[in-house]
């Protein structure tokens, strides 16, 4: 009598990674769009919230932020647009204005933090809105703007944030492989 062993089922990748990422992006965009259809109410300062939902994508450079932007851009109600590279610089300037002699000078000129924050919010919102076509959900992908995540959440309380996290070894490998001499990495290192 011949005894046969049962065949072992080997795990194989039956679903390519890009399909999984696409399904994730669709589910994420649905989650983001749920927050779009809310009633617009005045916030604490008496100013009205924007009728458009704002989404910020950030994380360490080379952590997958561009892939997330591309996946969200596929949705017809979402527009991400290009990386501005201006927003992190504005946020860095705002951080400098909040301390030392600059803060004293602004206060002496009658520009209190609430007024400066309102101007920064309007400027950033204008940059995002004018970066492309109009859409229900506007998204900004500036990885280094997440250094100022707490401040962004303060001036955009209705915004949603997607923080991309990748294994640090893979990030460093990608940075070395795709070496791009850029001053924005120096900004990150100086903090």
pLDDT value at residue 7: 59
pLDDT value at residue 110: 84
Model pLDDT for residues 50-93, shown as the tens digit of each residue: 568 999 999 888 888 999 999 999 999 999 988 888 999 999 99
Residue 142: give its domain's CATH number: 3.40.50.300
Residue 146 belongs to a domain: yes
Kindly tell me the burial class for residue 138, based on how many C-beta atoms sit within 10 Å of its own C-beta (0-12, 13-18, 19 or more): buried
* Percentage of the chain modeled with pLDDT above 90: 37
Residue 115 belongs to a domain: yes
> Are the CB atoms for 79 and 135 separated by under 8 Å?
yes
Residue 164 belongs to a domain: yes
How many domains in the chain? 1
Write out the residue range of the structural domain in which residue 57 sits: 49-189
Beta bridge partners of 42: 48
Q: Over the Cα atoms of the chain, what is R_g?
A: 22
Residue 44 belongs to a domain: no
Work out the angle between the directed axes of helices 17-34 and 65-73 (0-180°, nearest 10).
70
Residue 29 belongs to a domain: no
pLDDT value at residue 184: 52
Of 6-15, 86-95, 126-135, 162-171, the range with the lowest mean pLDDT is 6-15
Most confident of 1-10, 13-22, 24-33, 142-151: 142-151
User: How far from the centroid of its chain's Cα atoms is residue 73's Cα?
Assistant: 13
As annotated, the active-site residues are 83
Residue 139 belongs to a domain: yes
Residue 9 belongs to a domain: no
pLDDT value at residue 168: 86
pLDDT value at residue 170: 87
Residue 153 belongs to a domain: yes
pLDDT value at residue 182: 58
User: Does the pTM of the predicted model rise above 0.75?
Assistant: no
Q: Concatenated DSSP letters for the chain? A: -PPPPPPPPPP---S-HHHHHHHHHHHHHHHHHHTTSS---B-TTSPBPPSSEEEEEEESTTSSHHHHHHHHHTSTTEE-----SSHHHHHHHHHHHTSTHHHHHHHHTT--HHHHHHHHHHHHHHHHHTTSS--SEEEEE-GGGGGGHHHHHHH-TT-EEEEE---HHHHHHHHHHT----HHHHHHHT-
Enumerate residues 6+ apart whose C-beta is below 8 A from 80: 57, 69, 70, 72, 73, 138, 139, 140, 141
């Amino acid at each position: 009598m011949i005894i046969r062993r049962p065949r072992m089922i080997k795990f194989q990748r039956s679903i390519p990674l890009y399909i999984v990422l696409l399904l994730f992006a669709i589910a994420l965009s649905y989650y983001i769009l749920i927050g779009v259809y809310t009633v617009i109410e005045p916030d604490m300062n008496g100013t009205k919230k924007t009728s458009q939902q704002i989404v910020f994508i950030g994380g360490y450079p080379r952590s997958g932020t561009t892939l997330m932007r591309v996946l969200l851009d596929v949705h017809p109600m979402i527009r991400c647009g290009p990386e501005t590279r201006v927003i992190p610089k504005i946020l860095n300037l705002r951080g400098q204005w909040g301390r030392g002699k600059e803060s004293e000078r602004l206060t002496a000129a009658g520009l209190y933090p609430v007024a400066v924050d309102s101007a920064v919010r309007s400027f950033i919102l204008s940059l995002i809105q004018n970066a492309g076509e109009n859409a229900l959900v506007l998204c900004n992908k500036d990885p280094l703007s997440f250094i100022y995540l707490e401040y962004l959440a303060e001036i955009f309380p209705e915004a949603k944030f997607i923080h991309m996290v990748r294994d640090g070894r893979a990030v460093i490998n990608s940075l070395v492989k795709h070496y791009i001499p850029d001053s924005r990495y120096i900004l990150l290192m100086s903090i």
